[in-house]
């Protein structure tokens, strides 16, 4: 799959849509004492949900309503620096790149004390008709919220 965001965009240049500040919790680290790799994807997801809520998109209602769904079809992360228990990070949701029926969200995790990027990634979401489970155009309200 071709990356929608370049590594440089993810590391430094892409504008952000939202940011969540959080601490690396004890339960986030593995036996090596660093963040267990799937936790970074959870950080991305948590920040994404906050970004949608801040922009007026009620994801739980959208899911419950069933007419439109936004399944994740691709996720990736690059781990650039170790994150340890007690580190404070900013998880940035980067302004998505919008297609007709899909969008790609970029993410950047920055260590607040060092100001260095520790992880980057992106997720691809496809808008589907909930009844037929086939791709459909992004609704205007979602498109506006993500733009």
What are the pLDDT digits (tens) for 17-65? 899 999 999 999 999 999 999 999 999 999 999 999 999 988 888 888 8
pTM of the entire predicted model: 0.91
120's tokens: 């980057």
Catalytic residue IDs: 30
Closest Cα partner for 105 from 67, 138, 140?
Answer: 138
């Amino acid at each position: 799959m071709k990356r929608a965001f370049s590594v440089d965009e993810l590391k430094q240049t892409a504008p952000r849509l939202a940011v969540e500040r959080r601490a690396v919790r004890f339960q986030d680290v593995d036996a090596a004492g660093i963040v267990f790799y799937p936790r970074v994807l959870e950080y991305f997801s948590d920040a994404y949900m906050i970004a949608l809520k801040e922009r007026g998109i009620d994801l739980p209602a959208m899911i419950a309503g069933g007419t439109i769904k936004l399944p994740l079809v691709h996720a990736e992360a690059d781990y650039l620096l170790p994150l340890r228990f007690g580190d404070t990070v900013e998880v940035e949701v980067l302004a998505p790149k919008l297609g007709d029926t899909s969008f790609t969200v970029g993410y950047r995790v920055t260590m607040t004390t060092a100001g260095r990027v520790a992880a980057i990634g992106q997720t691809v979401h496809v808008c589907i008709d909930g009844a037929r489970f086939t791709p459909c155009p992004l609704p205007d309200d979602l498109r506006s919220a993500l733009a």
